[in-house]
Amino acid sequence: MAKTNYNISLKGYVGSSDFDRSTVDRELSRNDGKEVNVLIDSTGGSLATGLSISAAFKNHGKVNVHFVGLNASAATIASLGAAHISIDAGAMYLVHKCSMAFFEWGSLKSDQFATLIADCEKMKADLDKLDQNVARLYAIRCKRKPEELLDLMKVGGWLTPDEALAWGFVDEITNLAEDEAPRMSDALASAMANAGMPIPNIPIADRDKDGAFGRFLSALSSLFKNQTNSITMSEEKSTSKTYSEDEYNAINARLTEANSLVDANKKTIEERDAKIAELEAKLAKKPAEPSKQVVEDSKSCNGEATPENEVEAFVNTFNSASQLFNEV
């Protein structure tokens, strides 16, 4: 089968530069009146962008959408305006109820809680309206009742290609040579967890086997293994492990190193406490009493009186005259 030439490839977060309305409008305009093939590989994003792109596909009229990888949320909504929708045999499909970011941190008074509750009730009412509108759009595509789609959205589980076809979300299942089976990555698992989406049971990408997500799974596996061993050892107390001399020496060396670190830290703490005690003792002492005596000495270092200058002579004369006047 010949490789498909896609006019538009929409991947990643719906609403980002790789999955936006401007790219769709530009390519649809270039192919006005022509058939347009669109590749979608996305776990969702902005509902507004998804609805906008769906309308653009519907207005163009000749749009074929092909799903590969993991597709959910706004990515599935974006496809609803296409004339024909296909899905790769290894891909998966997810619809769920709309969500809205919410975060509140702090201590609230009763009136503040009342305001918060009112805001939350308004948010819930808005989300209910969005869910009903999305369910109606899905129902038109699937030729089912909106209530059925709303119930499926409440479940929010991943659909296989066969299930997506049975519901009517897609028109065809393909098995093209160029389509790769979806694989889990660190970034994808983190994004899905943050969005509250279920993580499908699919293989981990080779490049991520040693990544954080791969290490996390390995750690879990090791943890369960260690727990199993621990239970076995507690039940079978006669079970023991024999260490070689090299293993014993290595363990002993590590213990010695740990003890030396403990001793060093203990010494540092003791020195710190002694210094603090010394400073506190100094602060506790009262300052010396200030001297109450004023010593006036008009004599020079050799014991002889220093001569008066003109200013001093004038002041002394003035004081003597004032004193004599007062006496009189």
d(CA 82, CA 65): 6
Task: Tell me which residue of 168, 163, 136 sits closest to 150, measured CA to CA.
Answer: 136
The b/e string for 89-99 (b: 16+ C-beta within 10 A; e otherwise) is: ebbbbbbbbbe
**Residue 24 domain flag:** yes
**pLDDT per residue over 278-314, tens digit each?**
776 776 665 555 545 444 444 444 555 555 566 566 6
Q: Which positions ≥6 away from 71 have C-beta within 8 Å?
A: 40, 41, 42, 43, 87, 91, 92, 93, 94
> What pLDDT, on the 0 to 100 scale, is given for residue 233?
33
**pLDDT per residue over 246-263, tens digit each?**
666 666 666 666 666 656
Tell me what percent of the chain is helix, strand and coil, each rounded to the nearest 5.
55, 10, 35
The beta-strand segments (E) located in 73-114 are 84-88, 92-94
Residue 149 burial by CB count (10 A; 0-12/13-18/19+): exposed, middle or buried?
buried
CA atoms within 13 A on the CB side of 96: 22
What number is the average pLDDT over the span 54-70?
96
> What pLDDT, on the 0 to 100 scale, is given for residue 62?
94
What number is the average pLDDT over the span 36-41?
97
Owning domain of residue 157:
8-221
Domain count, the chain: 1
The encoded tokens of residue 293 equal: 């005596």
CATH number at residue 49: 3.90.226.10
User: What is the torsion angle, in degrees rounded to the nearest 10, for the CA atoms of residue 41, residue 45, residue 47 and residue 48?
Assistant: -100
> What pLDDT, on the 0 to 100 scale, is given for residue 172?
96
**Residue 248 domain flag:** no
DSSP state of 67: E
> What pLDDT, on the 0 to 100 scale, is given for residue 149?
97
Cβ 36 vs Cβ 60: under 8 Å? yes
More confident residue, 224 or 108: 108
**Residue 26 domain flag:** yes
With 90 as the cut, is the pLDDT of residue 64 above it?
yes
pLDDT band at 174 (very low <50, low <70, confident <90, very high): very high
Task: Tell me which residue of 216, 193, 149 sits closest to 43, measured CA to CA.
Answer: 193
pLDDT band at 176 (very low <50, low <70, confident <90, very high): confident
> What pLDDT, on the 0 to 100 scale, is given for residue 229?
38
> What pLDDT, on the 0 to 100 scale, is given for residue 221?
46
With 60 as the cut, is the pLDDT of residue 216 above it?
no
Average pLDDT, the chain: 76
**Residue 288 domain flag:** no
What number is the average pLDDT over the span 21-35?
96
> What pLDDT, on the 0 to 100 scale, is given for residue 277?
74
d(CA 162, CA 84): 16
**Residue 154 domain flag:** yes
**Residue 85 domain flag:** yes
**Residue 274 domain flag:** no
Q: Which positions ≥6 away from 265 have C-beta within 8 Å?
A: none
With 90 as the cut, is the pLDDT of residue 157 above it?
no
More confident residue, 257 or 230: 257
Cβ 72 vs Cβ 93: under 8 Å? yes
**pLDDT per residue over 158-167, tens digit each?**
999 999 999 9
Say whether 40 sits in a helix, a strand or coil: strand
**Residue 149 domain flag:** yes
Least confident of 21-25, 33-37, 101-105: 101-105
**pLDDT per residue over 183-193, tens digit each?**
655 555 555 55
